[in-house]
Amino acid sequence: MLNRCLVLIAANALNLLAQEPPRTEIELSATARKIAIAAPPAQVVDLINDQVQREYAETLRRDLEGIGAVTVLRNDLPSSTSSDSFSLWLEAGCDWLLTSKVSQTSRDSVAVEAVVYDVKSGKRVTSITQNGNTSSYRRLAHMVADAFEEFLTGTPGVANSRIIYCREDAPGVKEIYQADKDGTNIIKLTNHKTLTMSPTVTRDGRLAYLSYRPMPAIWGQKVPGGPHVRLYPLSDNVGFNVYTPVWSPDGSRIAFVRTDGKGNADIMLLEVATDRTKRLTSMEGLNSEICWNPAGNRIAFISDRSGSPQIYLMDDDGTNVRSLSIGGSYNSSPAWSPDGSMIAFVSRFEDNFDLFVYKLSDQTPYQINTGFTNSESPAWSPDSRQIIFSSTREGRNRLYITDLSGNRVERALEQTGCQQPVWVRSR
Domains of the chain: 33-153 (3.40.50.10070), 161-425 (2.120.10.30)
- Identify the pLDDT of residue 323: 93
- Identify the pLDDT of residue 284: 78
Alpha carbon 348 to chain centroid, angstroms: 23
- Identify the pLDDT of residue 372: 65
- Looking only at the bridges linking them, the beta strands covering 398-403 and 409-411 are antiparallel
- Looking only at the bridges linking them, the beta strands covering 33-37 and 70-73 are parallel
Where the chain has pLDDT below 70, the residues are 1-31, 39-51, 369-372
- Identify the pLDDT of residue 49: 62
pTM, two decimals, is 0.86
Q: Give the Cα separation of 192 and 174 in Å (integer).
A: 8
- Identify the pLDDT of residue 370: 61
Helix (H, G, I), strand (E, B) or coil at 100: strand
User: What's the number of CA atoms in the CB half-sphere (13 Å) around residue 55?
Assistant: 12
341 CB neighbour count, 10 Å cutoff? 14
- Identify the pLDDT of residue 285: 84
- Identify the pLDDT of residue 252: 97
Q: Give the Cα separation of 353 and 329 in Å (integer).
A: 11
Which neighbouring-strand residues pair with 178? 164, 187
- Identify the pLDDT of residue 3: 32
- Sheet strands (E) in 53-95: 70-73
